[in-house]
Amino acid sequence: MTHPPQQKEVNNMMKPYFYEMITIDYQLTDDQLQWIQQQFPSPALPNAVQGIDIEQYSKGDSVSGRVLLNDFEVKKTKTNKSFLRLSLGDQSGTISAKMWDNNGEVEQMLPILEQEGVFDVRGQVDVFNGFKSLTIYNMTPVQESINPFDLLAFTKQDITALSNELFAYLLELDQPYQDIALKAMEQLWESFRLSPAAKGFHHNYLGGLLKHTVGLMRFCRYITVQSNNPFQAIMKLIHKVETQYKQEIWDTLKEDNSYPAYVWKDSIDHLYHMLQGMAEYKLDSINYGALMTSILYHDIGKLAEYDYAGKSFDIFHFLFPTATFTEGKHKQAGIAMDPLGVSIGHIPYGVLVLSKVIDNYQIAVSMEDIHLIAHCILCHHGLPEWGSAIRKPQNLEGYIIHIVDYLDSRYENTEADSEK
């Protein structure tokens, strides 16, 4: 990889984020833009969305289409009747579905679902408690070869613009953080640029990890660069959450919705709790380079933890180059948990990648910085019951990475992907 060029002439790019509260301000030269596009090209994604998109249908409508199987399980009704609960997907997103066991369909379908990942389905739209789902009448496995990306949901944002923004922030970093960041991207960009960040809750589509990582960096820069006081900045963010939560409640009251979907429910107390914990370190300074590097690595382990059609397994080959590995054993379907990656989890994988990059490229970095970045990766879920590997953050950077991860993952659910 060639070294990124340096120029005096800059391009300024600004746009709002988080309810138009955060102004995005970064700089790239024309030469840097060209370097990014050459070294880290954006993936080719479809221009238009195709798929079932049951939100566009009414209750009772008949639906048919081609889908990927994300997940399935056998469930029982209160009368002990078996049925299949299915998670399907196409470019329109995730589709909740079920299949009743009227004539032994469940037993017949189980071995097929274990082996196949692409199906042609026919069914009917149902509505329960305000949520739409699909009752499947027929599922036929697809035998012909298909392009899996034609069936996966993907970000509707400009993925090239997201890539440019990511590298603009990385190129601002001092050494050794810039090397630690860019070498990871050099190894894993093919996967990183496409990977989802989840299978259901947030950023659960191609490009989701890239978008989520950039979102955290936007919050981080607002707190640490654009504001004079990080505590005051976080309090402003919490105040915005309070305002939006009140609006959610009011909108629900006006619509008389008995089953509201509150994005910010229970968030305010948690955020204040984290802010109070952060206050223990109020006299410490923030290591911006280590924090931004940690953000890049915080979910990089999801390249191993999640599986999806067309996935690259470069993270396994990078971490374990001498291991024997048969990629064909993975069933290529919708977004699901990788059978190998889920046994370790994305948080430990993040530290493994960090260690491997530093070792492989012989990057000179202090022992304190290694542990600071690793600590941020390990504690970014905030609480042990939420998956954090640390009982609680032990520095300002640890609290900040959790707070910005918490905010961005929930903000994702407040607007359509194409609007943010």
pLDDT tens track for 97-111: 999 988 888 889 999
Q: Could you tell me the two tokens for 335?
A: 């977004």
Give the span between the Cα atoms of 295 and 289, in whole angstroms.
10
pLDDT tens track for 346-380: 999 999 999 999 999 999 999 999 999 999 999 99
pLDDT tens track for 286-333: 999 999 999 999 999 999 999 888 888 999 999 999 999 876 555 667
Whole-number pLDDT of residue 257: 59
* Beta strand spans in 295-402 (E): 306-307, 336-337
Nearest to 87 by CA among 78, 98, 76: 98
CA dist list (Å): 278 to 156, 381, 382: 35, 15, 12
Where on the phi/psi map is residue 129: left (φ > 0), alpha (ψ -120 to 50), or beta?
Answer: left
Whole-number pLDDT of residue 328: 58
Looking up tokens 């191609």 gives 206
Predicted TM-score (pTM) of this structure: 0.89
Give 77: exposed, middle or buried? Use CB within 10 Å, 0-12, 13-18, 19+. exposed
Whole-number pLDDT of residue 334: 81
pLDDT tens track for 186-239: 999 999 999 999 887 789 889 999 999 999 999 999 999 999 999 999 999 999
The domains found in the chain, sorted by start residue, are: 11-45+157-419 (no CATH), 54-150 (2.40.50.140)
